[in-house]
Chains A and B, each alone.
Chain A
Amino acid sequence: MKYQSQRVALPYFVGALTIFTLQLVFGLIGAAMYVDPLLISPNILPFSVVRMIHTNALIVWLLLGFFGSTFYLLPEETERELHSPRLALVQFWVFFAAAAFTVVGYLFGNYGGRSYLEQPMVVKVGIVLVALMFLYNCSVTALRGRRTVITGILLLGLWGIAVFFLFAFYDPANVVIDKMFWWWVVHLWVEGVWELVMASILAFLLIKLTGVDREVVEKWLYVIIGTALFSGILGTGHHYYWIGAPAYWQWIGTIFSAVEPLPFFAMVIFAFAMVWKGRRTHPNGAALLWSLGCAVTAFFGAGLLGFLHTLAPINYYTHGTQLTAAHGHLSFYGAYAMVNLAMFTYAMPPLLGRAPYRQRLNIVSFWILTGGVALMSAALMFAGLLQTHLERVLGQPYMDVQPQLTLFYWIRLIGGVITASGLVLYLVAILVPGRRKVPVASGLVPAE
């Protein structure tokens, strides 16, 4: 760690892992409710609240991870200390406290809004304040320091996250218009500006881990985010097929969605090409595994599983089935959870002033976590295909179809348990560095 202010990333990473754990706890409860609906009385803890906490916790921990990653990489990229490390710490505690307040509120019925945006108004305003603190701090740092393509694209993505979040405040009574602009938050986040954040963090990691030239990485980065936005912006159309919007979206959504796997494919080629070109073997092999795994799993989850049901003639049958959940799990994990887990793995040893530690356990946790999520997604994919056939082709009612999917819901629950045990191993590998303190050897300084 070259700059003292990078240390503010530490609470962000620990906070993110705490909320990741919360996400999995409620994921397991929800998965258990699918196999035994009478497990918990709906008047005490309805499924809706479980899902709300599961999805909101996901978004909050990923954002905490993005914030922490930005604070970690910004000093190294700009070659100067953060503008205000204290503001970064204040920002963390405001955001973390707001998240805790929101979750407790959800359990007592204090929610209202749209899906993923159930936060009470005061929390939504708080999120904007946190975003302003963050963007001010990072933008000033970037403007005063060395300008790199990585910081430029990262900040563009982070500003985009804040700008599109503002549509969370627009909730018109016309449900068609409501849905159209709800996707401006949800789709333009995860299939738009989040991809900029993911690509730039991945590029930073690959430069550090493989020692490849910055110039090569920068050109790749523009090609990746170019294909991401060219396809992703009009690809929003694949959410406008059946919500009361005009029929022309079926053409636009289909054509541009067909291109949406391209940036993820480019990221796989990019990541492996950089490793082949790279001259150095970084001692943190686990971080490299997470980085490569991120690109590959994102390609399968976001690229392929998304493409599977995104074309209008197919989506007509599969829309609103468990196939969406299958895609959602593997794509969020592959693209956004894994890029964060890669960054935590890379940055925690220098943050603690150590050489890389517990590499083998970390690598084991990689395979268990990834295997668990893949099993969940596969189970949900089979459930979704069967549901599509029974409901959308044969016309059996939803409630008659659900009991026929129980086997797959059991397999999903098992996948969830495997995922949770993978997380426990990861937490040990990251948060319990062991007593024997190995100092950072001089040969282990990251590449420039």
Chain B
Amino acid sequence: MERLTTAAARNIFYGGSVFFFVVFAALVANSYVQARTMERTHPISAAVAHGKRVWEQKACFDCHTLYGEGARFAPEIGKVWLKYGGDSDPAAAEDALKSWFAAQPTGVAGRHQMPQFHLSDADLHDLIAFLRWTSSINTQDWPPRPAAN
């Protein structure tokens, strides 16, 4: 520390920060390209895109997590579509999810409560389309116990 001059410390700071930011930006660019490539096999329809807006407008992430991110007041929903058997019987999964939405809030004592959002049929359909799309993402095998989350 004694031999390091302030000017040298400053130059290391600026040089190093620029270097690491360039490396970071290059890696993010590569990840961006891979994420866009995925859209070819899992296209983002107008319904999926609008479903994401519904997810945002109702601030679902302020209770739920999506791929583990968001609030921890309610279950993870990244792969909820698969839990409802959407990969084998999509129509039944959509119906089951719709009736689940309609049943909120449950009012059961001790259980975290979800509001009744009174979503229109179109919004509900698109939100479920969004949840279907999120279930198709490669999350590197997370979560460890898919049945629980």
Query: Which A residues have a C-beta under 8 Å from some C-beta of B?
Result: 33-34, 37-38, 41-43, 46-49, 51-52, 111-115, 118, 149, 171, 173-180, 215, 218-219, 222-223, 225-226, 229-230, 233-234, 236-237, 239-250, 252, 316-317, 319-322, 324-325, 391-399, 402-403
Given contacts A173-B44, A180-B31, contact A218 B6 (CB under 8 A): yes
Interface size, B (range) = 35 or more
Complex formed: what's the CA distance from A196 to B4 in Å? 20
What's the nearest-Cβ distance from chain B to residue A366, in Å?
29
A391: chain B residues at CB < 8 Å are 145, 148-149
A-B contact count (CB 8 A): 214
Whether the Cβ atoms of A233 and B24 lie closer than 8 Å is: yes
- SS class, residues of chain A in contact with chain B: helix
B65: chain A residues at CB < 8 Å are 320
B32: chain A residues at CB < 8 Å are 177, 180
Q: At the interface, yes or no: B138 with Cβ under 8 Å from chain A? A: yes
Option from A43, A47, A233, A320 in Cβ contact (under 8 Å) with B116: A43
Whether the Cβ atoms of A37 and B139 lie closer than 8 Å is: no
A240: chain B residues at CB < 8 Å are 31
Whether the Cβ atoms of A219 and B9 lie closer than 8 Å is: yes
Whether the Cβ atoms of A242 and B35 lie closer than 8 Å is: no
A242: chain B residues at CB < 8 Å are 67-68, 139-140, 142-143
Q: At the interface, yes or no: B71 with Cβ under 8 Å from chain A? A: yes
Proximity bits, B67-100, A CB within 8 Å = 1, else 0: 1111111111000000000000000000000000
Known pairs A175-B137, A395-B147. 16 more at Cβ < 8 A?
A43-B105, A48-B62, A51-B62, A51-B63, A111-B59, A174-B44, A176-B137, A180-B28, A229-B16, A230-B20, A242-B67, A245-B35, A322-B72, A392-B148, A397-B148, A399-B75
Whether the Cβ atoms of A324 and B72 lie closer than 8 Å is: yes
Complex formed: what's the CA distance from A225 to B145 in Å? 39
What's the nearest-Cβ distance from chain A to residue B147, in Å?
6
